[in-house]
Chain A
C-alpha cells in the first residue's frame, strides 16, 4: 500500500448457512474441489465506503484538470480561441498540441507495449476520431476547469470520417497469418448433405464501469505517485516511465480497488502521462475526473464485428466442415483484433476447418480488451449457426452439441487438459428443465407472450501468466501476502486470502492481502481470466517453502509456536516466482519490465479451456414486442473453484452482461461524424435488476491436475460467452425469426 495498511474485518462463516440455501452452493459444498463460500473479505470496507478507489485518495493542495475532446471525426485543429476560457476564475493552464506538455509515447499494448494506442495525444494538430483528447484544462477547482473547457473554442479543418464498416473510406487488411486451415474445407462443405451459410453482426460496446476513469498525479521531488484505476499497475508504471522519460523506480502506481474493469482499465490511458506532465509543469498535484461521456471515446471499447459461418453436417448430425470468418473494426493506426475464430473452431469435432480474419481500419479510437474479448462476439456467430443447423437436421440442439463433443482439439490433435462439456449440458439441462423442450416454433407460447427456449455452448481458454509473490508469516500466526495483482471486483482479495490460509493452515482471519500497488512484487494483469490460477500457483510455492523451513505439514495439525521456537526467529518471509510451463524461462524476470506473458488455451502438447452450457428462456410480448429473459441457467466446469460464492457471482455477472450484449448494448455511431450519439448510461442501456429475475449458475465439479499446480481454470470471462446466442436461439424458437445481428431489439420482431 502507498500510505496505509489495510486490514479487513473478515466475516468468513456467519452466512454460510444462508448460502447453503442456494441450490448451486449446496452442490458445490459437496465437492471437495470447491472452496468455502465465504463472503468477500473486503465487503465491509466496500459497503461502508472505506474502500478507497483511485479517485478517493487525497493529495495536498491539488489542481483539477478537465479533458477537452474533439468535436469532429477527422481533420486538423487550425486554431484555438481561448480568450473566454482564460478569463475563467482560477484557470491555471490550457494545454494542447500548441503548447505540448513534456511527455512522449509508449508502445501500443497489442504490440507488446503498455499504451492504449500507438500515437501520442497533442503530438500533432491532427484529429483521428470524434471524441479524441485534444486539450487539457487545469484550474483551481473542478467546476472552474469544466467551465473553462466549455468556453474553449477549437477551430477545425474537417474531413468526412469513415467511421463504420459501410463507409467508403475504410481500409481492409487481410490477416492470413492469423488464419487456420485443416483439411479441405471447400470439398467437405460441398459434399456435406446438410449445411448452413449465414452472416452475423455484433455491435460496438463500451465498458461503462460504475467507477469513472480518473487520474491523480502527485510529485514529491522527482518521485511520482499516480492514483489511477488500473488492471495492470506494473504495466502502467513501466509505460508511464517511458512516456515521461524518467526512471520507473521513481514511479508508484496505486490502485487498491477497482470499481469494475471489464478490460477497460488494462492498457495505459493516454491522459495519465498528460496529468503527470501537467503536474510536473505546474508544481502542484493534479486530479482528473473523466466524465461518463468522455469515457466513451477516450478509453478503449469492444469493436463491432461482421462474421460469416459455413457449417456442413452429415444426416446424423456429425459436423464435417466448419468455416468461420470475421471482420473487425479497428482504428486507422492500430491493428487491434481479437480473432475469436481461434476458439470457435476448437468447440466441436470436424475434419475440415478454415478461418479467415480481416481488420477494417476506420476513423475511430483504438479498440481494446472487453470481457472475453474474442469469444463474446464470435460465439454469437458460431452458436447461432449450430442452432440453425440443428433446425435443418431436425435435431435437439443439446443432443447435437453433445454429439459433436470432442476430447481432442480438432485443430491441433492434442488432448484437452480436461473437458466437461457434456456434464455441463447434463446438469444445466436438468436444472433448466430442458426435457420439457418442444422444438416447434411458438409451442411454448402463453396468452400474449411468445416464449422460446435456447441453448448455447460457453467456453474460455485457460490462460496463465508468470507471477511473483511475497508472503510473510509471524509467530502469532498472522500472514501477509503482497503482490501487484488486482481485485477488479472479482473477489481476488478473498480467494487469495483463502489460498494463503489453506496452504499455511491458518484461519482466513489471520491473512492480510495487499494488491494494486506497483511497489509490490509484480503480479498478473487482471485479464484473460489468469489471475487466480497464476497467483495461487505462486502462493503455493512460497507457502511450501515456508512450511519446509518451519517444518510444517500441509493440512497437518501444526503447532506454529513450537515451529517458530525451533526456527529461532519471530517471523519468516518467502518470495516466490511461478512461471507457467510453456512460458520463456526468463518470463518472471521480464515481468519486472512490465512484459505480459500469457500462455494456455491452445498449446503445443495440450489445449486448455473451461466449458459451460447456457440455457435461456425469452418472453416476447406480442403487442409491445418487448424481449425479456425471465430465466437463465448457466452450468460451468472450470477446474478447482476457490470460493463457491464469489465464483457464482462471477458467472452470474457474466450472464447478466450477456443479456445486455444480446438485447441492449450498442454504441450508436453517427456515420456522418463518427460520434457516439448515446454516450451516457441513460441511452446506452445495460440490464437492470428487473431484467434478471431468475438466474442460476451451477458449479459443475471438475478436477484438472494438468492445467496448473492450482488446478484452477479461471472464471472471470466465461459467464458472458454464448449468452447472446442462447437468447437469439430462444427468440427464434419463440417467433420463427432468425436474428443474426445483436443487439436484438423490438423493431427486429415487428412486421410492419
Chain B
C-alpha cells in the first residue's frame, strides 16, 4: 500500500471540501466507508489515492420511513439493512440481496453508500499488470479473449466486459430509488438510481455519473405494498460467500394469477446494475406460468453477448429470471407482516 493522507472530517460539507478530486483513473483522493473494496484495491496498488477521507463521523446511519417513503443513510451497514424489519417484511428482495452477499464479517462493515460503488472483480482489472481500459484507459481489454467466466454478457463494449459484482443495487433498482449526493460548493443533488451507473462504452474508466468530489449521502424511495412480493434469486458456484453467476431481483404486483406490474433487475451478468424493462413490459397483463416466466427471461437477455467462458450466463440468466418470477408469484404475502419470513423460503414448487 502506498502511503496516503488520512482525514476524518466531522460533516458532509467538510468531507466534500476535503477530498482530493478523484480523477478518472482513480489516482485522486477517495472516500472511505467500510473500505471493503477500497482497502483491498489499495493493497493491490490498483488504486493509489494520495488521501483518504473517512466518512465515519458523518452520521448518515439511519433507516427511516415517513409517508410511505423510505430513507436510508449511506453509512447504514449491509448487516443492519439486511435485518431491518422494513426490508425483511416489506421488501424481501432488498433483504435477500444483502443476506446473500459477501460474508457476515464484510456485511458488518460494508455500507450501502459504498456497496453500490463496489468495483468489479475482473481479474485483469485487479492484477495491475494486464491491459485494462478501466484501470489504464486505452491499454486494451485482456478479459476479452482471456479467462472471462465470471464476466458480463449485458452492457458490454469492445473495450470492457467487467461485471458489476454487487447484489444490493440489482434489487434497489426495482424501486425507482433516488440517490442523494453532495459535492463541494453545491447543495444536495438528487440522481435517479437508474442513472447512477454508466455503461462502459468507450470509457470503462468512468463507472458512475458522480463528480470526483461527490459523496453519496443516502437513498430514498417509495415502498409500494406489492414490494412484499419480491425475491432475490442468486445462482452461484457454492451455497454461500460467492459472487453471482447470475441473479435476478423480481417484484410482482398480482391480481390473482395476472401480473399487473412486474419489476425485474439482473445481477452478475451485466456491467452495471441492470433493469430488464422489456421483460417487465412483456410480463404486464400476463398470467403467471413457467412458460411466461421463461419467455420473460429470454427477453431479458435479448442482445446479450457471450464470450468464450461466460456464454452460459445467457441461458442460465434466463432461467434464474424465470425462477425469481415463479418464486415471487408463489409467495404467500397475506401473513407476511406476521411471519416476517419474507421471500427467503419461497420456492416455485407447484408452479412447474
Contacts and interface: CB of A to CB of B under 8 A. Distances in A.
Interface of A: 71, 143, 146-147, 150, 447-448, 621-626, 628, 663-664, 668-670, 672-673, 675, 677-679, 682-683, 685, 687-691, 745-747, 750-752
Nearest to B245: A746
Given A672-B145, A683-B121, A746-B312, A623 B240 contact: no
A90 to B, nearest CB: 11
B316 A747 contact: yes
A752 B242 contact: no
Given A147-B3, A624-B233, A677-B124, A750 B316 contact: yes
Contact of B123 (A146, A678, A750): A678
A146 B235 contact: no
A690 B239 contact: yes
B1 to A, nearest CB: 6
B121 A448 contact: no
Given A147-B2, A670-B146, A688 B241 contact: yes
Interface string B107-129: 00000000000000101100101
Interface string B123-153: 1100101100000000000100111011000
Interface string B239-253: 111110110000000
Interface of B: 1-3, 45, 121, 123-124, 127, 129-130, 142, 145-147, 149-150, 233, 235-243, 245-246, 311-312, 314-316, 319-320, 322-323, 347-350, 352
B150 to A, nearest CB: 7
B1 A146 contact: yes
A682 B1 contact: no
B238 A624 contact: no
Contacts of B235: 621, 623-626, 746
Contacts of A625: 235, 316, 319
A677 B142 CA distance: 11
Nearest to A693: B239
A746 B147 contact: no
A746 B146 contact: no
Contacts of A677: 123-124, 127, 146-147
Given A150-B45, A690-B239, A623 B319 contact: yes
A564 to B, nearest CB: 54
Given A448-B352, A747-B312, A752-B312, A623 B322 contact: yes
A452 B264 CA distance: 32
30 contacts: A71-B129, A146-B1, A150-B2, A150-B45, A447-B349, A448-B323, A448-B352, A624-B233, A624-B320, A624-B323, A625-B235, A626-B239, A628-B239, A670-B142, A670-B146, A675-B127, A678-B123, A679-B123, A683-B121, A683-B150, A685-B237, A685-B238, A688-B238, A688-B239, A689-B240, A746-B235, A746-B245, A747-B316, A750-B315, A752-B315
Given A623-B348, A670-B142, A677-B147, 20 more contacts: A71-B129, A146-B1, A448-B323, A448-B352, A621-B323, A624-B316, A624-B319, A626-B235, A663-B238, A670-B146, A672-B145, A682-B121, A682-B243, A683-B243, A688-B240, A747-B149, A750-B315, A750-B316, A751-B315, A752-B315
B123 A746 contact: no
A668 B310 CA distance: 14
Nearest to B323: A623
A405 B237 CA distance: 36
Nearest to A672: B146
A690 B240 contact: yes
B26 to A, nearest CB: 15
A747 B2 CA distance: 40
Nearest to B150: A683
B238 A687 contact: yes
Q: Name A's interface SS.
A: loop
Contacts of B123: 677-679, 683
Contacts of A745: 237
Contacts of B315: 750-752
Contact of A746 (B130, B237, B240, B314): B237
A750 B320 CA distance: 12
Nearest to B351: A448
A672 B131 CA distance: 13
Nearest to A624: B235
Of the listed residues B1, B146, B237, B322, the one surrounded by the most CB atoms of chain A closer than 10 A to its CB is B237
B306 to A, nearest CB: 9
B149 to A, nearest CB: 7
A577 B306 CA distance: 63
Given A71-B129, A448-B352, A143 B1 contact: yes
B175 to A, nearest CB: 24
A673 B147 CA distance: 11
B348 A448 contact: yes
A690 B234 CA distance: 15
Nearest to A668: B147
A752 B145 CA distance: 21
Contact of A664 (B237, B240, B314): B237
Of the listed residues A622, A687, A746, the one surrounded by the most CB atoms of chain B closer than 10 A to its CB is A746
Contact of B238 (A675, A679, A690, A752): A690
Of the listed residues A623, A625, A687, the one surrounded by the most CB atoms of chain B closer than 10 A to its CB is A623
A321 B224 CA distance: 69
A148 to B, nearest CB: 11
Contacts of A687: 238
Contacts of B142: 670
Of the listed residues B127, B149, B233, B239, the one surrounded by the most CB atoms of chain A closer than 10 A to its CB is B239
A542 to B, nearest CB: 47
Contacts of A678: 123, 147
A690 B150 CA distance: 22
A623 to B, nearest CB: 4
Contacts of A71: 129
B237 A663 contact: yes
Contacts of A672: 145-146
B352 A447 contact: yes
Contacts of B246: 624
Contacts of A673: 130
A621 B349 CA distance: 11
A69 to B, nearest CB: 10
A344 B43 CA distance: 46
A447 B347 contact: yes
B65 to A, nearest CB: 32
Nearest to B44: A293
Contacts of A689: 240
A628 B242 CA distance: 14
A584 to B, nearest CB: 47
A685 B242 CA distance: 8
A33 to B, nearest CB: 37
B213 to A, nearest CB: 27
A20 to B, nearest CB: 30
A698 B319 CA distance: 39
A682 B2 CA distance: 23
B248 to A, nearest CB: 10
Contacts of A146: 1
Contacts of A447: 347, 349-350, 352
A747 B245 CA distance: 10
Contacts of B237: 626, 663-664, 685, 745-746
Closest A-B pairs by Cβ, 4 of them = A747-B312, A623-B323, A624-B235, A447-B349
Contacts of B349: 447-448
B6 to A, nearest CB: 14
Contact of A626 (B121, B236, B322): B236
A726 B352 CA distance: 29
Contacts of A143: 1
Contact of A623 (B146, B239, B320): B320
Contacts of B124: 677
Contacts of B233: 623-624
Nearest to B326: A623
Nearest to A146: B1
A377 to B, nearest CB: 20
A677 B322 CA distance: 32
B124 to A, nearest CB: 7
